[in-house]
Amino acid sequence: MAIKEDHNRFRDIIKGRVKEDLKKYVSHGEMIGKREKEFVKIPLPHIDIPTFRYGPKQRGGVGQGDGKSGDGVGEPGDGSGQGQAGSEPGEHLLEVELSIEELADILGEKLELPRILPKGNKNIDSVKTKYTGLAPVGPESLRHFKSSYKNALKRYVSSGLYNPEDPVIIPIRRDLEYRTYKKVVKPQTKAVVIYMMDVSGSMGEEQKEIVRIESFWINAWLKKHYKGLETRFIIHDAAAKEVDEETFFRTSESGGTLISSAYKLCQNIIEMDYPIHEWNVYPFHFSDGDNWSSEDTRYCLKLLTEFFLPNSNVFCYGQVESKYGSGQFLKDLQKEFPDDERIILSQIESRDKILDSIRDFLGKGK
């Protein structure tokens, strides 16, 4: 339909507006936990073509009904779906619905994120056939009885032949429809993202929120690129445990910090479930950089050098600024891996920096 073209054009304009103000929308916590097909409502300033028109306040109008002088009448709107007697006041917000997927797209455009090149056995496409379609020709054994019958019935009714007293329907050749198959090509790139979050006492509510928002959007973006992306979630304080997505985005714990506990658990998960020659592995770790002891930090560095760096596409570490944390861990990592391509470090000072940090992580297209 022709309108689709205009409609897409309008959606593009909306997306452009969202893109301009992306920071504002992205740093809202409400979207977290939505699935990629779910819609979010985004309030935008009204998109309108300006004309010379009267201001709404002085306008008033004529209404009908009971009531005495001084009674409220509510916001003037259009009665019974009939507008035009005066245009809408221009101050309403336009609420647009965008899916998380679309938002992730906008995010990608805004940050100019490159497409990710999967490693390893890239293009294992599996072809499946699915009987989903209907065609006017086919073998009798695949005749679709219901829709053939419907077609015949339609023809009877519309040509006036149908007699409810004697509802005999005789299909003719052009009523018949047959099942037909379609080839579905499934690209088989396997990827897993493992998110690790520090939930120790030094991470405040704001810090956790930042981590959640950031990992949510990273997740949304990666899911766009890897159909069937797997995600695992680990939270840790002094001990690490695997949790489901729900818990990861809601939980609040407290305690000491042993980063190595998370790394060990992560290593276990990878070794158990994701043979590295088949899988693209993305470990993300967020913390305030306050580790319990330098001994533990050394152990972490060892794990990184020996296991994570050789075996994952890229290892990402994001450090949130915190009042209590020393931020030492980031410095240690910088010292240990000054120019290593396989590790990406990013510092997130505040909510406003989330976008920059996402760009740090995903901007390299690994």
Partner 1 sequence: MANLTPELEKARLRIAKVAANCGLDYFETIFEIITYDQINQFAAYGGFPVRYPHWKFGMEYEHLSKSYEYGLSKIYEMVINTDPCYAYLMEGNLLMDQKLVMAHVYGHCDFFKNNIWFSKTNRKMMDQMANHATRIRRYIDRYGQDRVENFIDVCLSLENLIDRHSPYVERPTSRSKEESNSKPENESHLLKVTRPYMRDYINPPEFVRDQQKKRHEELERSQRKFPVESERDVLKFLLQYAPLEDWEQDVLSIIRDEAYYFAPQGMTKVMNEGWASYWHSRIMTEHILNDSEIIDFADHHSGTVAMQPNGFNPYKIGIELMRNIEDRWNKGQFGREWEECDDIKEKKHWDRKLGLGRQKIFEVRKIYNDVTFLDEFMTEDFCVQNKFFVYRFNEKTQRFEIDTRDFKAIKAKLLFQLTNFGQPIIRVQNANFENRGELLLEHLYEGIDLQPDYMSQTLRNVYKIWGRPVCLVTVMDNEAQIFRFDGQEFVHKNIASPLPQGSPA
Sites of contact with partner 1 (CB under 8 A) = 1-3, 5-13, 47, 49-82, 84-87, 90, 157-160
DSSP β-ladder status, 39-45 and 93-99: antiparallel
Backbone angles phi, psi at 315, to 5 degrees: -105, 125
Give buried/exposed letters for 236-259 (b at 16+ CB in 10 A, else e): bbeebebbeeeebbeeebeeebbb
In the complex with partner 1, which residue's Cβ is closer, 75 or 165? Answer: 75
Smallest distance, partner 1 to C-beta of residue 46, A: 10
| Nearest residue to 281 via CA among 325, 311, 320, 324 | 311
In the complex with partner 1, which residue's Cβ is closer, 62 or 185? Answer: 62
In the complex with partner 1, which residue's Cβ is closer, 76 or 327? Answer: 76
Smallest distance, partner 1 to C-beta of residue 146, A: 20
Q: What is the DSSP string of 114-158?
A: PPP---SSTT-EEEEEEEEEEES---GGGB-HHHHHHHHHHHHHH
Smallest distance, partner 1 to C-beta of residue 104, A: 21
User: Would you say 149 and 159 are in contact if contact means Cβ atoms under 8 Å apart?
Assistant: no
In the complex with partner 1, which residue's Cβ is closer, 16 or 365? Answer: 16
Q: How far apart are CA 168 and CA 161, in angstroms?
A: 10
| Nearest residue to 224 via CA among 316, 101, 122 | 101
Smallest distance, partner 1 to C-beta of residue 39, A: 11
Place of tokens 């410095």: 331
| Nearest residue to 336 via CA among 298, 279, 281 | 298
Q: How far apart are CA 195 and CA 357, in angstroms?
A: 15
Smallest distance, partner 1 to C-beta of residue 149, A: 19
Q: Could you give the count of Cα atoms lying within 13 Å of 282 in the half-sphere of its Cβ?
A: 25
In the complex with partner 1, which residue's Cβ is closer, 56 or 327? Answer: 56
The SS3 call for residue 340 is coil
Smallest distance, partner 1 to C-beta of residue 2, A: 7
In the complex with partner 1, which residue's Cβ is closer, 72 or 338? Answer: 72
In the complex with partner 1, which residue's Cβ is closer, 13 or 135? Answer: 13
Beta-bridge partners for 158: none
Smallest distance, partner 1 to C-beta of residue 92, A: 12
In the complex with partner 1, which residue's Cβ is closer, 3 or 172? Answer: 3
Smallest distance, partner 1 to C-beta of residue 96, A: 8
Place of tokens 């997130």: 348
| Sign, CA torsion 155/161/165/167 | negative
In the complex with partner 1, which residue's Cβ is closer, 16 or 310? Answer: 16
Q: How far apart are CA 76 and CA 56, in angstroms?
A: 9
